[in-house]
Structure 1
């Protein structure tokens, strides 16, 4: 007997509505099955092939990098982590993706790094031509050749770091003055970047303070950027005037907005360009001389602060941590320093002639990669193949840095151990391959980090100076520090003691 709609309860849908719902549900199921089928030949966690939910949960967990390493070890060098997303730990495949003539392009994930929702930067541009144009204008500044006294600026901040520990946190046999190494390394990197970029440090080391509360706000923001990367279309909403007023701006007196104001004020003093522009021989001055507009110069200066500070700080603190807890490595490094007797801080030229120091820095970058975001790239129209398996066009492919640098086939059974000697042992070809693999932390090919040389200079100088000056010990070995992953490592409470090292004989 047919049911009449006027006899059904108010909450029971009509026959027409039921038909529409049935058609919609069938279409949804068919589309989901079709999407699943596109990458069904790639293994991965079972639910990941049907839903993005696992990827979202991993991203929000603060331990995503460890999960991606586990997936790579379980399912192989390429695995499925979402319906249209693959994860790779194959170094050669990622080099192919980033090659100069590759047709791969950046995924929408990069839109999350528009720190100003209205404007792309060197790390958010998805248009290859625009990215190349901008890179050409930025490269001379990042090379350091157009920055007067670049090395002296880094040296001055290294000395300020050492002075802070000596004057405020030096412990002795009968007293302890613990300090948070995680925080102090952030002070160093922020001051150094500001000095290079704007011509003077912000003052974190001099005041032993998170100036303007920037570091605290930045740490709270990075998890948001990672989640936003999974939903990049939200950037269009954030660009609305009614929404932008709730975001950090140059009008703010604290936090990221205060750094934005600093960039804006500094850039404002350089415009319009004058004949004496050459006196501004800092990085911002180089950007402007090579054609960046005021808005572009402000945006790129902010990128330097946001992208470079925490990553370099992570490598400094984790290298200090691993060396300080490994007497064999510490003694060997100090023996080289005491034998060479380099300047204080050592020069870049001296560092090149200290192979064990170089090995320590490389191992620091390898054992704890500072960047763990997947840096998704899109497969070109027409698709690609991997090991004979077809990858449809538009598939997002991310890279697991941690899985690559912990691969036992490439690094040996002790890949999880901090052992700098691995960069000094083996044939010339093996050493070149290891060096090339650890360079992955600075990116690939046309997307390689412009600030690589400056970062390495900072690392060699500050690590060698701290370890030649102080004996560090962990205050709480059972809980040495706190860490949360958000594409980069957000670390805190790395409480350490520092005692002065006896002078060389």
Structure 2
């Protein structure tokens, strides 16, 4: 037989074998891919079912046990505070709002989670408070040991003890606000956006006591470098991150750097970041002279330059927005309650304050009705209503007979907390400062312990609480004693949107000089 007669069948056999190998190889790959998809789907399905059942004993809106869509919808609704409140009213003081998320209006549970010796920790909700995605600050830090160490370095500065002329600095900016309102608007018979003016003042105060160089919002009567506009436009996005915290980790990647605020920006949050970075560079320079402001205190207590950059930014963002929110909310209820205005003026009159004199903190603390107004304002319109979720310790916890599995996130329903009828009475929805004067000593203690939760509790209590009260103790006295203020449009006093904090604009007020 010739050689070519052998080659033909061999070629045919080889080709057949190749086709068979190719078929089985291709079929195996397809099977492997299909099997992998099936395994992943099964794992996802089983984990979803397991996640649902681990909290199925706690009621909540339909669908919250299966996905985060309800939460995402609520934080973008513009009425977040009311959504959480309605859930707690319907389902109880502990309710389910996500696959691994609960919300509570029970003050005892909130205190339990934040107590000094509590095993609860901050959850990844706080990732959204990293204004620099690559670096934690005292608000975002979730590791308790690191948080406590950082807090110790900041405490003296926030207390005000090491800030030279703290009260005098605050007084100067309050007078600056008074002059702006009187000279540019009231004597000109022009309405003004009271919400904006309040925030101008709190931003100038914070920048002054933080690093001795006020931004100049009041001086220019403008949103300097469009900071407020930028924050209002971007805050809803920041709040979305509280529900999807992995976004912060993703945004820290260099590929997304161009989408984030930068210190090179001419306007907005990036501009503030640039200012903070320059201030810190100057203060930590070899020829820098110590200054007796908050940053000077931080440096003296061992804060690093990188830590200082993060903390000074937090001071401005967190401190100014929340205090301005407290002033805006309280003044709306004061202006629309003549009884309250008259009672305040009656208490102010014996002080005999001079025209260029601002009420002192010591005087204000001894004014019972003023203190009742401040507490009632914080209660009826708290400036912060975000979840600020804490994480149940790994071993789990039982609270008032309810099992809380380890790793569950529990957030605050602040609006519901401050409207509990068992704490505030049947008129809990009414602004009535007198409740603080009528209460028995035991009841007053209970009420104060609950309203103080506006500023956090225990190891997570707000460091800026003392400075906020310094401002609140003064501003209401100075506005009420000097001006008659009225809402321009009582049917719609402002545009108010809540996404965890209140963003308020178009808060038009008309003022008149007091004649007596």
Pairwise TM-score range, normalised by the shorter structure = over 0.9
Secondary structure at the counterpart of residue 101 of structure 1: coil
**TM-score with structure 1 length normalisation?**
0.93
List aligned pairs for 1:1-400, cutoff 5 A.
Answer: 21-170=37-186, 176-272=189-285, 276-277=289-290, 280-342=291-353, 344-400=357-413
**Cα distance in 1 for residues equivalent to 2:475 and 2:155:** 24
Task: Answer yes or no: is the 8 Å Cα contact 1:342–1:350 preserved in 2.
Answer: no
Per-residue CA distance 1:429-472 (angstroms, 9 max, x = gap): 11111111111111011000000000001011111101111111
By how many angstroms is 1:20 displaced?
Answer: 5.5
By how many angstroms is 1:380 displaced?
Answer: 0.5
Secondary structure at the counterpart of residue 47 of structure 1: coil
**TM-score with structure 2 length normalisation?**
0.91
**Cα distance in 2 for residues equivalent to 1:103 and 1:432:** 26
**Cα distance in 2 for residues equivalent to 1:342 and 1:388:** 55
**Cα distance in 1 for residues equivalent to 2:452 and 2:324:** 17
By how many angstroms is 1:16 displaced?
Answer: 7.2
Secondary structure at the counterpart of residue 154 of structure 1: helix
**Cα distance in 1 for residues equivalent to 2:36 and 2:204:** 61
Per-residue CA distance 1:106-144 (angstroms, 9 max, x = gap): 101111111111110000001101000000000000010
Secondary structure at the counterpart of residue 480 of structure 1: coil
Greater Cα shift, 257-266 or 449-458: 257-266
Task: Answer yes or no: is the 8 Å Cα contact 1:55–1:82 preserved in 2.
Answer: yes
**Cα distance in 1 for residues equivalent to 2:157 and 2:38:** 60
Is 1:454 the counterpart of 2:462 in the alignment? no
By how many angstroms is 1:425 displaced?
Answer: 1.1
**Cα distance in 2 for residues equivalent to 1:455 and 1:495:** 24
Task: Answer yes or no: is the 8 Å Cα contact 2:282–2:288 preserved in 1.
Answer: no
**Cα distance in 1 for residues equivalent to 2:310 and 2:35:** 52
Question: Please, which runs of 5 or more residues in structure 1 have no aligned partner?
Answer: 1-13
Closer/same/farther in 2, CA of residues 47 and 246 from structure 1, 3 Å limit: closer
By how many angstroms is 1:246 displaced?
Answer: 2.7
Secondary structure at the counterpart of residue 424 of structure 1: helix
**Cα distance in 2 for residues equivalent to 1:342 and 1:245:** 53
> Partner residue of 2:505?
492
Task: Answer yes or no: is the 8 Å Cα contact 2:113–2:120 preserved in 1.
Answer: yes
> Partner residue of 1:3?
none
**Cα distance in 2 for residues equivalent to 1:375 and 1:236:** 19
> Partner residue of 1:9?
none
Task: Answer yes or no: is the 8 Å Cα contact 2:125–2:388 preserved in 1.
Answer: yes
Match of 1:408 among 421, 436, 439: 421
Task: Answer yes or no: is the 8 Å Cα contact 1:195–1:201 preserved in 2.
Answer: yes
**Cα distance in 1 for residues equivalent to 2:500 and 2:289:** 41
Greater Cα shift, 237-246 or 478-487: 237-246
> Partner residue of 1:7?
none
By how many angstroms is 1:18 displaced?
Answer: 6.1
By how many angstroms is 1:93 displaced?
Answer: 1.1
Task: Answer yes or no: is the 8 Å Cα contact 2:488–2:509 preserved in 1.
Answer: yes
**Cα distance in 2 for residues equivalent to 1:443 and 1:251:** 34
Task: Answer yes or no: is the 8 Å Cα contact 1:375–1:399 preserved in 2.
Answer: yes
**Cα distance in 1 for residues equivalent to 2:111 and 2:305:** 34
Question: Please, which runs of 5 or more residues in structure 2 have no aligned partner?
Answer: 1-29
By how many angstroms is 1:273 displaced?
Answer: 5.6
Per-residue CA distance 1:210-253 (angstroms, 9 max, x = gap): 00111110111211111011111222221122212331121112
- RMSD value over aligned CA atoms? 1.7
Task: Answer yes or no: is the 8 Å Cα contact 1:142–1:451 preserved in 2.
Answer: yes
Per-residue CA distance 1:302-346 (angstroms, 9 max, x = gap): 000110111111111121111111011110111100123346310
Task: Answer yes or no: is the 8 Å Cα contact 1:320–1:467 preserved in 2.
Answer: no
**Cα distance in 2 for residues equivalent to 1:44 and 1:191:** 43
By how many angstroms is 1:28 displaced?
Answer: 3.0
By how many angstroms is 1:30 displaced?
Answer: 2.5
List aligned pairs for 1:425-436, cutoff 5 A.
Answer: 425-436=438-449
**Cα distance in 1 for residues equivalent to 2:255 and 2:42:** 38
Closer/same/farther in 2, CA of residues 15 and 198 from structure 1, 3 Å limit: closer
Secondary structure at the counterpart of residue 64 of structure 2: helix
Task: Answer yes or no: is the 8 Å Cα contact 2:48–2:66 preserved in 1.
Answer: yes
Match of 1:439 among 452, 469, 480: 452
Secondary structure at the counterpart of residue 454 of structure 1: helix
By how many angstroms is 1:274 displaced?
Answer: 5.7
By how many angstroms is 1:29 displaced?
Answer: 2.9
Secondary structure at the counterpart of residue 57 of structure 1: helix
How many residue pairs get aligned? The number is: 486
